[in-house]
Amino acid sequence: RENFKVKSTYIEPILNLTDKDGRLRTTFNQTGAATGRLSSSSPNLQNIPQESKWAPRLRQAFIASDGFSLASFDYSQLELRVLASVSNDEKMAEAFCQNQDIHKLTAAQVFNVPLERVTKEMRRLGKTLNFGVVYGMGADAFSRSSGLKKEEARRFINKYFSDFPKIKFWQEKILEQARTFGYVATRNGRRRWFFNIQDFNPRVRAEAERAAVNMPVQGAGADIIKLAMIQTSGFLKREKLFPAKARLLLSIHDDLLFEIADGILKETAAEIKKIMESVYSLDLPLTVSCAYGRSWDKSHA
DNA sequence: TTAGATAGCGCG
DNA sequence: AAAGCGCGCTATCTAA
């Protein structure tokens, strides 16, 4: 099943959709995602395997033009930084200011141990909590993905919110806003309406509530990457690097992929990284990691 | 033969 | 009960 999926979803469509010049062009939908993200289709280049067994070989098929490299620029923990910022949670913000390992910190908090005593397994649970709980994950789902008993899972979730109280407070504020006005918004004003937020059916209502607390976070991430696209592509044009020497190829939610002539790779990459890190102020640092190589598998750290 | 819905799975 | 958010694509099934 795994092999068949790779062949029918990735290998064959990618070959068929490649243009005569040997380049593959996706279509970005600017209004496809309710949170403000772009989506990608025909083919979808935002879901090319990254971790699986076939990922390296699939990504080796994406190769820069002769004399160019592919360079990817990845915001580290973009959405968690947004969350720390919008919720004003000092502990989480502090962790990002000091460039700490956020999942490790969360594990240390919920397990009540010092940072140096956090095991790999504990860190894994911290990571699940960071990504899951803040989007409304319940004890049931957490116990399923962590292997903990349901009661234990519930305790960890409660501990999480008592360790990061501002996050809980912020979520309640967002829900109140959604119920009062029918919409929520990112700090830049991007709105998403929730017509079901007062639904009589608790299940329908809960679904709307989870999406509502997620939107200002995911949406702000989308706002930031869009600003980064504007600023970086503007830089390439101003410096007359576009289109002959450098171009922006893809946007993958918190990641931008460029194709850059080898002769100017180092200095151009440094400038792109600088632009991305300074494009928006969250009152805590945005950090960008960069990796490059001839093919896409080499351009990921 | 075509259109729509669902399950499963890939990504952030 | 799959109650963690946001997507797109393939295979599969049903209905027209």
> Nearest nt (C1') to A32 (CA)?
C7
User: Which is higher by pLDDT, A51 or A281?
Assistant: A281
**Protein CA A54 to sugar C1' C9 (Å):** 17
| Residue–nucleotide distance: A145 CA to B5 C1' (Å) | 28
Protein residues with beta carbon less than 7 Å from any atom of strand C: A 4, 8-9, 13, 29, 32-35, 37, 39-44, 46-47, 128, 131-132, 135-138, 140-141, 144-145, 202-203, 206-207, 210-211, 214-215, 218, 253
Quick one: pLDDT at residue A13? 87
Rounded to 5 degrees, φ, ψ at A196 are: -100, 10
Strands A68-75 and A183-185: unpaired
Which residue is nearest nucleotide B10, judged by alpha carbon to C1' distance?
A: A47
Q: Please, which positions of strand C sit below 7 A from a protein CB?
A: 1-11
Residue A256, phi then psi, degrees to nearest 5: -115, 135
d(CA A139, C1' C1) / Å: 13
Question: What pLDDT, on a 0 to 100 scale, did the predictor assign at position A43?
Answer: 92
Strand B nucleotides with an atom less than 7 Å from a protein beta carbon:
8-12
Question: Rounded to whole angstroms, how far apart are CA atoms A222 and A212?
Answer: 15
Binning pLDDT at 50, 70 and 90, where does residue A32 land? confident
Q: Which nucleotide is nearest to A204 (CA to C1')?
A: C3
**From the CA of A164, how many Å to the C1' of B6?**
39
pLDDT (mean) for A94-113: 95
| Tens of pLDDT, residues A282-291 | 999 999 999 9
Nearest nucleotide, CA A214 to C1': C5
Query: Is the predicted pLDDT of residue A253 greater than 80, yes or no?
Result: yes
**A50: nt with nearest C1' to CA:** B11
Q: Which nucleotide is nearest to A38 (CA to C1')?
A: C7
Bond prior to A243 in cis (omega within 30° of 0): yes
A118 CA to C11 C1', in Å?
A: 43
| pLDDT the model gives residue A301 | 60
Of A36-40, A61-65, A200-204, A266-270, the least confident: A200-204
Task: Write out residues whose CB is closer than 7 A to strand B.
Answer: A 1-2, 5, 9, 44, 46-52, 55, 218, 252-255
Query: In the predicted model, is pLDDT for residue A53 greater than 90?
Result: no
Q: Name the burial class of residue A202, with classes exposed (0-12), middle (13-18) and buried (19+) by CB atoms within 10 angstroms of its CB.
A: exposed
CA A130 distance to own-chain centroid: 13
